[in-house]
Chains A and B, each alone.
Chain A
Amino acid sequence: MIRNKHVAMTLTVIALAAVSLFVRDAYSSNLVTWMAIAALTATSLRFVSLIGELNFATAAFYGLGAYGAGTAVTLLNLPFAVALLAGGVVALLVSAVFGYITLKTKGPYFLLIGFAFTEVMRILYTRSDWLGGNSGMVGIFPPSFFGAYFSTFAVLLCGAFIVLLYTIERSDLGKVFMAIRDNDNVVLSVGIDVHLMKVACFCIGSFVAGIAGALHGFANNVISPGDFGFLLSTFALAYMKVGGEDSPYGPITGAVLLVGLGSLAMRMGAGEHVFYGAAIVLAVLLMPKGIVGLAGVAASLGKARKSGKAGNAPQLRTKEGRSHG
């Protein structure tokens, strides 16, 4: 059963990559790249939600990844693969420190401090002249042998990390994360260091967000502080929510849909923000389980229902209720 789900996801990634090979014009190809990056970012957000926290600092680590990779390439002249990894590693290291301190808090406090951290990082970039200050960094180019196939590379890379995150989610480690979300006192009582586990989950998610940010740098060729504000986290949240947070395919679906529709909206002159805002509001009010959730309900209506096998997935650690334990 487990092996089947992995195979299914890996095949999906390969299929999507194959599709991207046929997307030839520059605009659409670029769009595919952005969809891949968006999907990875949203998946990173969903991964941290396994411990029941809404990680609003996703944008901060995405930004660290971008600046890390950008610095590696433009200032240190390191090769592409190293730079990409460097972005992830920078994000990882900072997330370890940040997470260790802030994961002692939960729910709204963790959320808001992630938000504040994002804004502070943005200010730091603006004040750092060696990073280009307010104008940002330019000249972040992927190696030329990619040519027009960078989008396929992006799909494969992001897909690989999404599969990796999924593997962790289904492993025993993933179960520990989800148990923490459900009832962290019980997990503590059997001798598992809950705080360390939360930090681990957070670091893994942030590393991946850093990789996504690094890819952003190479896809856009220029980065500036304004790219990495809390709005980015909000978009990631939109992808996850609209696509459906219960399924690993949710963030992918949401990202592809919203990035695609968003670009359409932009071409028609409508405000991008209004579009995303409306999408989020509608999704939250009308489709709480997201598109994938709707699809799931539709599918189960077709089959005979098993008794009460409804989705019992607990909410993020933000729902008030009787305290456990």
Chain B
Amino acid sequence: MANTANVLAETRSLTRRFGGLIAVSGLSIDIRKGEILGLIGPNGAGKSTTFNLISGFCKPSSGSLFFDGEDMTGKSPVTISRGGLVRTFQHGSLMRSMTVRDNILIGAIGALKGSRRNERLTRVNETAAILGLTPYLDEVAANLPHGIQRLVSIAIAFAPRPRLLCLDEPLTGLNQTEVGTTLEVFSRIRRDFDCTILLVEHNMKAVMKICDRIVVLHHGQMLATGTPQEVRENESVVSAYLGKRHGA
């Protein structure tokens, strides 16, 4: 059981219905400070909906959401982002028509509104350096390879230095090397910037490697939760999901 002082965000019986369809049902999970939490499950399990609920892009039908002790249920995406929770999107989570620098700048502006231009530019350069994007700063995002674009979307989300970074399938379409470097970036972000990470991913090998804990969703409900080891050995998980494929 988690120590409440440790909990950065939690959902309590979060439910979301779309007409007759129950996308997420009675979801109660907690996200602990400084951890990398993985959210896995087959397609249609409710991962995207959960993301949307946590980040305010979708209002719950019932249940509640707390971030850093504060009730964030039903709050707007802007309020929640300003509270320190930033998420990426599964597809095209960047501004394709703008340069990498301008993309990251948008993220910086989100956090550093009242500041001077120099501070924002410094933040952009620092963020780019962490993500290894410095050589691409002047390129238009649409012209860059898919793997770099993924990094840009993470950079945008990280530029405001969120306390909880929610990444929606950040590794899709990346090759082995790129996955490796990205995972290293996650470690660095968590370690050096006091950042907690929530990760939705299909790449099982990566999930098992980088996550401290994993939550398994199935049909909109939590099927299991625990360390990668625990989840891997959990029978219901194995039969429902893991048994079919061994990621990456």
Partners in one complex: yes
User: Is B82 interfacial (CB-CB < 8 Å)?
Assistant: yes
Residues of B within 8 A of A187 (CB): 106, 110
Residues of A close to B86: CB separation below 8 A: 189-191
Of the stretches B22-30, B31-39, B93-101, the one at the interface is B93-101
Stretch from A9-17, A262-270, A308-316 that touches the partner: A308-316
Nearest-neighbor residue (CB-CB) of A175 within chain B: B102
Tell me which residues across on chain B come within 8 A of A82, comparing CB atoms.
Answer: none
- Greatest chain A CB density within 10 A among B91, B95, B140 is at B95
In whole angstroms, what is the CA distance A274 to B97 when docked?
36
Indicate whether A261 reaches chain B with its CB closer than 8 angstroms: no
B81 touches A189 (CB 8 A): yes
Q: A324 to B103, alpha carbons, bound, how many Å?
A: 15
Residues of A within 8 A of B102 (CB): 175, 179
Contacts of A175 in B (CB 8 A): 98, 102, 105-106, 109
Residues of A within 8 A of B105 (CB): 172, 175
CB A36 to nearest CB in B, in angstroms, measures 31
Partner of B106, one of A186, A308, A314: A186
The chain A residue sitting closest to B121, CB to CB, is A172
Contact B91 A182 (CB under 8 A): no
**Is B143 an interface residue, CB under 8 A from the partner?**
yes
Contact A190:B97 (CB < 8 A) given known A176-B106, A179-B106, A308-B143? no
**Set A178, A185, A309: member contacting B97, Cβ < 8 A:** A178
Chain B contacts for A189, CB-based, 8 A: 55, 57, 77, 81, 86-89, 157
Chain A window 86-128, contacts with chain B (Cβ cutoff 8 Å), 1 for yes, 0 for no: 0000000000000000000000000000000000000000000
B-side contacts of A192, CB under 8 Å: 78, 106, 109-110
* Interchain nearest-CB distance for A1 vs B (Å): 11
0/1 interface trace, chain A 120-161, chain B, CB 8 Å (1 if under): 000000000000000000000000000000000000000000
Q: How far is the CA of A314 from the CA of B82 in the complex (A)?
A: 28
Q: How many residues of A contact B (CB 8 A)?
A: 26
Query: What chain B residues lie within 8 Å of A28 (beta carbons)?
Result: none
Instruction: Encode contact with A along B145-183: 1 for CB under 8 Å, 0 otherwise.
Output: 000000001001101100000000000000000000000
B94 touches A186 (CB 8 A): yes
Contacts A176-B109, A182-B96, A312-B96 given; indicate if A190 touches B81 (C-beta within 8 A): yes
Closest Cβ–Cβ distance, residue B79 to chain A (whole Å): 9
- Interface 1/0s, chain A 251-264, versus B by CB < 8 A? 00000000000000
Interface residues of A in 288-325 (CB under 8 A from B): 307-309, 312-314, 322, 324-325
Contacts of B88 in A (CB 8 A): 186, 189
Residues of A near B92 (CB, < 8 A) are 183, 322, 324-325
Nearest residue (CB) in A for B55 is A189
- B120: CB under 8 A from chain A? yes
Report yes or no: A312 in contact with B81, Cβ–Cβ below 8 A.
Answer: no
**With a CB–CB cut-off of 8 A, which chain B residues contact A312?**
96-97, 140, 142-143
A81 interfacial by beta-carbon distance below 8 Å: no
**B79: nearest residue on chain A (CB-CB)?**
A191
Chain B residues whose C-beta falls within 8 Å of the C-beta of A185 in the assembled complex: 57, 89
Q: Which single member of B91, B117, B153, B157 contacts A322 (CB below 8 Å)? A: B91
Chain A 172-207 residues near chain B, CB threshold 8 A: 172, 175-176, 178-179, 182-183, 185-194
User: How many Å lie between the Cα of A192 and that of B140 in the bound state?
Assistant: 22
Select A325's contact among B89, B103, B117, beta carbons within 8 Å.
B89
Which residues from A are CB-within-8-Å of B157?
Answer: 189-190
Distance in angstroms between the alpha carbons of A185 and B153 in the assembled complex: 12
Structural contact, A188 and B81, CB atoms closer than 8 A: yes
Query: Is B134 an interface residue, CB under 8 A from the partner?
Result: no
* Least CB separation from B117: chain A residue: A172
Whether, in the assembled complex, B204 has its beta carbon less than 8 Å from a beta carbon of chain A, the answer is: no
User: A325, B93: Cβ atoms under 8 Å?
Assistant: yes
In the assembly, what is the distance between CA of A190 and CA of B89, in Å?
Answer: 12
Please measure, in the bound complex, the distance between the C-alpha atom of A190 and the C-alpha atom of B105, giving whole angstroms: 11
CB distance from A190 to the nearest CB of B (A): 3
Known: A189-B87, A190-B160. Contact between A178 and B98, CB under 8 A?
yes
Bits for B69-89, please: 1 = Cβ < 8 Å to A, else 0.
000000001100110001111
- The residue from A194, A308, A314, A325 contacting B90, defined by CB atoms under 8 A apart: A325
**Contact assessment for A190 and B98 in the assembled complex, using a CB-CB cutoff below 8 Å:** no
Residues of A within 8 A of B110 (CB): 187, 190-192
In contact, B90 and A190 (Cβ under 8 angstroms): no
Residues in A neighbouring B159, C-beta threshold 8 A: 190
Distance between Cα atoms of A183 and B156 in the complex (Å): 12
Q: State whether the Cβ of B208 lies closer than 8 Å to any Cβ in chain A.
A: no
29 contacts between A and B (CB under 8 A): A172-B105, A175-B102, A178-B95, A178-B98, A179-B98, A179-B102, A183-B96, A185-B57, A186-B95, A186-B106, A186-B156, A188-B81, A189-B81, A189-B86, A189-B87, A189-B88, A189-B157, A190-B86, A190-B106, A190-B109, A190-B157, A191-B111, A192-B106, A194-B78, A307-B143, A308-B143, A322-B91, A322-B92, A325-B91
A175-B102, A324-B92, A325-B93 provided; 9 other pairs, C-beta below 8 A?
A176-B106, A178-B95, A179-B95, A187-B110, A188-B81, A189-B77, A189-B89, A190-B111, A194-B78
